[in-house]
Structure 1
Amino acid sequence: MMNVEPPNGSDAPPERREREERTGAAVNDYVAMVARHRPYRDTSPRRTIPFRDFRQEVRRHRPSDLLPTLAALALAGGDPPFSAQWLATMPPWAIALAARESILWGNEHRKEGVTGDDLRRLFNAHNDVVGVPRERDDNFVLGMLTQVAYEQFPYQESIFEEVSRTHALLVDGLSAVNLEVLSEKAWEEMLGAPLGQVVGATFFLQVAASKNAGWFDHKWLDRPDMQEIYDVWPREVIERRALELSSTFEEFKAAYHAAPHPPDGNERYSFNPLVERPFVRMNDGRYLAPQPRLILRTITPGALYYRGIRALGEPFARDLGKLTERYVGRQLKSIKPTPDLYPEILYGKPEQASTDWFLVLPSVVVMFEVKSARFGLLERAAAPGFEKRTKSLIDKAVGQLIRSSTEIDARNPAFEHIPSDRPRIGVLVTAEPHYLANSHWTRETVQQAPFPTLTASLRDIELLAALPLDEVERQLVEIANDPDRSTWSLGTAFDRSKKQGPNVVLQEAWDSYPWLEELDIDEDQ
């Protein structure tokens, strides 16, 4: 069982030290309660409550008490993979949701303090929330599972891949691809500093908050022992980044109300401004991250996508598409031993483009079609019509795969280096996970190819590229032809009994930064 030791800086006012001690006691009490918990089979009907009852449970507490307690609890949970017991009793997405509701609707005119039993009531209420029943149409199950997937799965993904991918995808590729608007200078103009420095500054803020129960205090930057850090990450970049990633309570509320919202009854899936600005500015001048896991996610490709679209418009989206295509090729080329891999083929008059990559293996040709399109907020919340976005994306990609396959069969001279004497598999690669794209519910609504097709995220491709070449071939063939496993998320379908090495591309990207993981930035020094 993990204990949470509250920071007790000698310069902190006595009132603050007392609050921090109460926070640590509440978290330790609840963690101990969870450790003693033993699930049991209960055949009675489960209690269900509307979302407004969960909101009222949150509003029982002062934000100045609840938010620090949630931050400390989030850090007590450590990093994924989380245990099933942890996910059932203090899920990280519930922490972020409770923090959102506290900032939006809480006030200081409440009873002081939060106890372990208060946390028990809060998370039980969260687990009992039921939304407005969905219309029982053909997409009923798909809609419910889409909501759950996009609410929960991102919090269970390792941040190593997400952060490393930012550098490998958005920095390493700049000089290798002919782009319209993206460049090192464009990133610097957008972010106020080179992208690499922004990644480092964000990492610094993550470490600072993680070491100090979610808190960040600008006064720490005045310490004389910080100069070593500023030699790598300039102080002005750290300060600018901290300001960018924070909001006042009023700014937070304005951002929430300005965002599109799903239908009434599904408020839990509404926009959470903590995703874009994970720190809130508290009354004492310090910044607090109620769900610290969201800090580093602000510099993932998915987060930077929206920054780029706002600043550079559609040309940015086209550039990102080119970078994503190159990134998939770079991952596939890293497979050992080096595979027979061929890029996009231009053919015909008027000129057309084939699928993006052809991986030629002894028993199969695997065709990869890469798409960088992303789900919007309402589509993640499975608002009416959400399935049309997925269908459009998959149908377009499958059509491209079918056309390339037809040209191979027709022995088009432009495709003469692609064997026509073996089966084919099509892989649609998406820049972000489309968690249910392989499921029966999605497959029933989209175009079908005359050969097996799978949808894979960049994370899935990174897992694939860490396998030896013979395993890549065996596993893709087995999964694609298995009626059950072919409907799973590709990363889940992989045979994990086979030892995987590190992903070379991601490791090189991670190692390119002086991560300073041993930094000592505890408040009490």
Structure 2
Amino acid sequence: MDRERSERRRPPFARNYTTFASEIRRYPLTPLLRELSGRAWEAANRRYSTDEPLGVVQEFTIAGIARVALQHGTDDRSWPRRIPSLQVLCSAYIDLPEPEVVEGNLDVSAILARMAHEQYPAQSMGPEAFGRLHALTADYLPQVVNGPTPADWQSHLGVTLVDYWRIGWIMLVALGSNNGAIGWATLAAPHVAPLFSPLSADQVRSVITRRFAQSVPDAQAEARANMFQPSPKWSQSPLERRPLLDVGEDLVGPAPHFLMGQLTPTGLYYLGLDVFGKTFGQALGDAFENYIGAQLDLLAHAQVHREITYGKDSGKSCDYIVVTAECVMLVECKSGRPDLDARQGDSSTAMKKIEKAREQLETTANLIRTRHPNFAHIPRDRPFIGLVVTLEPHYVIETLSEDHLISEVLPIAAATSNDVELLTAALARRTDLGERLRDRIFARPPMAPRPPRVQAAIEDLLETAPRNPIVGAGWDSLTDLPGIQILANQELASKTLNEREPAETPEGPSLS
């Protein structure tokens, strides 16, 4: 009976994607996008200013509604006399049924992967990502084959890479300070010019229009071309690539986390591929491998061995072998981000890469144990553990796909670059490094079985762990630059970017 009552209370447009899209199509598109942008930045500001749960009105639900509006909406509408609240719309979006589940074509791990890739990005942005980003581009990319130098970036972007990021950060502050909309006139105003100095207003506008923003018709065309037919709810959003929408006098951004994503290694990956082509992917992989090596070198009570070549065919070991008195840790790095298929629940390609990393670790462990002459200097009298390190989270591994890392040769865990940064900072000078790696990452009796977790090795140290010196140096080198001190003083920037007069909003009711 309770279930029947609940079903009756659900709005009719929550029955399936078609009816939901029909509901969204009732509203005029541009005013709706403005409204959604304002509410999305309100949610983003709450996320970082309070510990209270956000409920269903979050960045990901609002971004989902904005994508549906771009797929199906039109400005040839007027606000209906009665409209549901945004909370009702967000609840309906979350509750949309999965046609593939009904048809028996989707397993639980695929559903969880979709949900994770949609929801988690808004929850995992922080200064550590920006520090990592600058360290990769300034210290590691220029040192590898096909790795772009600062001059290469400037030649293609028209501004330095630091200025490119600075524009992105200013837009974050601008939208967060102005209810999700900022006028072109405000960005070009004399009192705002010092924030962008020495860039001119024309340079700033060029970067925004070429890299961060797109017109609503362009976004509509991309949204409609990328409909995911098995379940349209999980279509790729055009706002992932260019998160700002040019609505004439103003710019709006209904997906704050996508704009933030432009200032992380995720954004760097796509920017580099767009600017330099496919060779950038390999260059980023090589730079990331060197970056992780520098992180491991922070461990004072371990010996870190680089990749070892062996055999007639010049085979390669895993990327790093970390030797402590208690264990030997084998490390393999993977920089490629989860592709669209993985984010839509098809993990086959992503899992092949993870399985390849597992095989690399297994092969290296066997070479050490069988005393291959090229590995004779690596001890074999202590436990082996494996670590697959990814540049960014592969949520598919963290759902129900841990079995792809299960090995009869050695226990293997997955870790992100952030996991490694926390680990190396916390254990840099600890003499119990090997013991923690051996005993805490992988659950042992009498502990209840659980997937391996790298941070389990340092959970009792996180509150007192020192700052990671590599990430910290990357962050400091940016905030110390006169032109980018907006990062260190967002309150001042927010006041500067506040529009002198409230932006006009189209007449009509809002999503209360």
Q: TM-score, normalised on structure 2?
A: 0.83
CA spacing shift, 1:227–1:286, aligned 2, 3 Å: closer
Gaps of 5+ in 2: 479-483, 502-512
2:425 aligns with 466
1:365 corresponds, among 306, 328, 332, to 328
Moved more, 140-149 or 56-65: 56-65
Partner SS, residue 485 of structure 2: coil
Deviation at 1:171, TM superposition (A): 2.3
The 5 A counterparts of 1:205-220 are 205-220=171-186
1:71 aligns with 37
2:343 aligns with 380
Letter in 2 for 1:323: A
1:197 aligns with 163
Partner SS, residue 145 of structure 2: coil
Deviation at 1:522, TM superposition (A): 0.8
1:455 aligns with 414
- CA deviations 1:42-74 (Å, max 9, x no partner) are 896665621223223323322333222222222
CA spacing shift, 1:241–1:251, aligned 2, 3 Å: same
1:278 aligns with 243
Tell me whether 1:509 sits opposite 2:485 in the alignment. Answer: no
1:347 corresponds, among 310, 320, 328, to 310
Distance 2:82 2:289 in 1: 51
Letter in 2 for 1:460: D
Moved more, 160-169 or 468-477: 468-477
Distance 2:188 2:298 in 1: 44
1:246 aligns with 213
Distance 1:241 1:229 in 2: 15
Distance 2:115 2:22 in 1: 22
1:157 corresponds, among 115, 121, 124, to 124
Deviation at 1:231, TM superposition (A): 3.0
1:435 corresponds, among 382, 395, 400, to 395
- Whether the aligned pair in 2 keeps the contact of 1:57 and 1:125 (CA below 8 Å) is no
Distance 1:262 1:160 in 2: 33
Distance 1:115 1:157 in 2: 37
Deviation at 1:423, TM superposition (A): 0.4
CA spacing shift, 1:42–1:328, aligned 2, 3 Å: farther
2:286 aligns with 322
CA spacing shift, 1:417–1:195, aligned 2, 3 Å: farther
Partner SS, residue 295 of structure 1: helix
Deviation at 1:210, TM superposition (A): 1.3
Deviation at 1:99, TM superposition (A): 1.4
2:113 corresponds, among 122, 142, 146, to 146
Structure 1 vs Structure 2: percent identity of aligned residues? 25
Deviation at 1:342, TM superposition (A): 2.1
Deviation at 1:194, TM superposition (A): 2.1
- CA deviations 1:247-302 (Å, max 9, x no partner) are 1121112222344x4333x112111111111111114x211112233223123222
2:507 aligns with none
CA spacing shift, 1:114–1:309, aligned 2, 3 Å: farther
Gaps of 5+ in 1: 1-40
The 5 A counterparts of 1:55-94 are 55-77=21-43, 78=45, 80=47, 86-94=53-61
1:188 corresponds, among 154, 168, 189, to 154
Partner SS, residue 74 of structure 2: coil
2:437 corresponds, among 444, 465, 476, to 476
Letter in 2 for 1:124: S
1:522 aligns with 498
CA spacing shift, 1:275–1:391, aligned 2, 3 Å: closer
The 5 A counterparts of 1:12-51 are 49-51=15-17
